[in-house]
Amino acid sequence: MGRLFWKFFSAIQGALLTAGLAVGLVVTMMRPAPHKDLELEAGPHALFMVDTTATLLAHGGVDAVKDMGVRWARSRPGRAQVLVVDTDGHDVLGRSVPAASLERARQVATTEAQDSPPPLAPALLAPPPPPHEVARKVALADGRAFVLFIPTDGEAPDGPGRPPHMRHEPVFLLPLVAGLLASLAFSAGLAWYFAKPVRVLRWAFGAVAEGRLDTRVAREMGSRRDEIADLGRDFDLMVQQLSVLIEAQRRLLHDVSHELRSPLARLQLAIDLARQDPSKLAQTMARIELESQRLDELVGELLTLARLEVGNRDGAMAEIDLTELVESIAEDAHFEAQASNRGVRFQGEPGVVLKAHVELLLRAIENVVRNAVKYTAPGTEVEVDIARIPNQPTIAIVVSDHGPGVPAAHLDAIFEPFYRAENGRAAHGFGLGLAIARRAVEANGGKIIAQNRPEGGLRVRIELPL
């Protein structure tokens, strides 16, 4: 268990203990202090029973009290009973009379008689008196006098039936220990619940740092539906994307090494030929110059692709006239295509203005148009159109050629670096133009899609937000 577990545990346990101590302190302060010197029952219940018995004795006599006492004993076995004691210290029902309680009852009854006369009927509707001992002295017409009370010592017949405020106080240590154990269990469970996914994430980060990119934590999160579970799912997405990027980098390095090997081999061959036959020095130097240019072009495109891969965008965004930009690219491409009996035709609505990275967008559109000119059939034209997408704040640039097209399964692969078609399209260049175009369009918030035309050829569609 790590430090986070103990932090959670300590915080939760401290909060529970503080709350428990505060509640206990408030309850203790609000609770009336018990009367240690009481020997008689007190409270509303004792007052009711003693006053009822006193009223019955005064109006019904000893026989009525005996009858009621028997009934109470039968209906309330083991509960507190009112003792009715005469001047000789004997109870009318023959029950044992504690001497100390009897003496105390005579003192209380005398004090009550001096303060106010005994009630003629039980005070059913009167507010409960403060907790003090209850005893009554009743004198009958025949001269006999009785003291009525409920004893509280161990010799009293009521035993376990005493009112709640006079029962034995529970041991304070027992609820304290029970509360402490419950709070410990609750704190440990809650701290474990919070700390477990963090430990799982820590393990997962360590595994990824060691190169195990197949590590996933979603299953370890179980059925959690909280922010920590969302963090675990985001971690899985991050690792998955990282795995894709690393695999792409490995494939790129492999392709780059393959592409560099061919011009370097031709350079080495040209140098060897120049050494063997000095008379062909001019021819070999021309070949060396050509291969050097190809290497420079390849390195330049690789650097551009690398900058786009890491999100490095050339220049700030600025407002441009897209129609004017695309028209100028189409005119330049048409001028160059005439040498190979090809052409470029432009059509689009004027005044389409948007905000973009100008250099990146120029590079993307130029690569797509020149790629189409390269593969369109001789005697045909590449069609470049600009149109707004209905009901959307988006503009589309569509470049269509009349070439051999691309197999449907490879339509997305042509935007990957060093792609080589497996059909009639010639493998000119290095296969980086469309890859650069895709990343440049995405850097401007758009997307690029390739489709085969029903009448033959390839259609590349660039969508940009206005």
Q: Please indicate whether residue 395 or residue 305 has the higher confidence score (pLDDT).
A: 395
Distance between CA 104 and CA 40 in Å, rounded? 8
Which range (53-57, 100-104, 159-163, 443-447) has the least confidence?
Answer: 159-163
User: Are 66 and 14 within one domain?
Assistant: no
CATH number for the domain harbouring residue 370: 3.30.565.10
pTM for the whole structure: 0.46
Can you read off the two tokens belonging to residue 272? 């060897």
Query: Which of 22-36, 251-265, 308-322, 357-371 shows the lowest mean pLDDT across its residues?
Result: 22-36
The torsion defined by the Cα of 46, 50, 53 and 56, in degrees rounded to 10, comes to -120
pLDDT at 371 over 70: yes
Q: What is the pLDDT of residue 125?
A: 43
Residue-range definition of the domain harbouring residue 128: 44-166
Same domain, 327 and 445: yes
Residue 218, CA distances (Å) to 171, 200, 258 in order: 49, 10, 39
Residue holding tokens 């006999």? Answer: 144
**Same domain membership, residue 432 and residue 400:** yes
Closest among 67, 57, 58, 74 to 93, alpha carbons compared:
67
Q: Same domain, yes or no, for 104 and 188?
A: no
Q: Please check whether residue 39 is in contact with residue 100, taking contact to mean a CB–CB distance below 8 angstroms.
A: yes
Confidence of residue 424 (pLDDT cuts 50, 70, 90): very low
Least confident of 54-58, 176-180, 201-205, 361-365: 176-180
**Beta strands 381-388; 353-356: pairing state:** unpaired
At 294, the pLDDT band (50, 70, 90 cuts) reads: confident
| CA–CA distance, 106 with 147 (Å, rounded to integer) | 7
pLDDT at 421: 61
Cα–Cα distance, 20 to 26 (Å, whole number):
10
Contact 49, 80 (CB under 8 A): yes
Report the alpha-carbon distance of residue 49 to residue 39 in Å, rounded.
17
Q: What is the pLDDT of residues 214-253, one digit of tens each?
A: 888 877 777 777 777 788 888 888 888 888 778 777 776 7
Are residues 232 and 272 located together in one domain of the fold? Answer: yes
**338 and 283 co-located in one domain:** no
- Per the residue annotation, which of 90, 254, 258, 428 is the catalytic one? 258
User: Residue 320: which of 367, 386, 391 has the closest Cα?
Assistant: 386
**Confidence at residue 34, expressed as pLDDT on a 0 to 100 scale:** 53
- pLDDT interval class at 5 (50, 70, 90): low
Q: Are residues 332 and 439 in the same domain?
A: yes
Taking only the tens place, the pLDDT of each residue in 39-58 is: 788 878 888 888 888 988 88
In sequence order, the 6+-apart residues with CB closer than 8 A to the CB of 313 are 307, 357, 360, 443
Tokens, residue 394 = 């988006």
Contact 97, 83 (CB under 8 A): yes
pLDDT of residue 161: 37
pLDDT exceeds cutoff 70 at 113: no
Same domain (yes/no): 248, 342: no
How many domains, the chain? 4
* Sequence-separated (6 or more) residues with CB below 8 Å from residue 261: none
pLDDT in the model for residue 349: 80
Q: Which residue has the higher pLDDT, 264 or 333?
A: 333
CATH number at residue 301: 1.10.287.130
Between helix 227-276 and helix 281-309 the angle, nearest 10°, is: 170
Whether residue 190 is found in the same domain as residue 97: no
- pLDDT band at residue 399 using 50, 70 and 90 as cut-offs: very high
User: pLDDT tier at 157 (50, 70, 90 boundaries)?
Assistant: very low
Active site residue 334: no
Higher per-residue pLDDT: 69 or 13: 69
**Lowest-confidence range among 60-64, 176-180, 455-459?**
176-180
CA distances from 108 to 139, 195, 260 (A): 16, 65, 116
**Closest among 103, 121, 110 to 57, alpha carbons compared:** 121
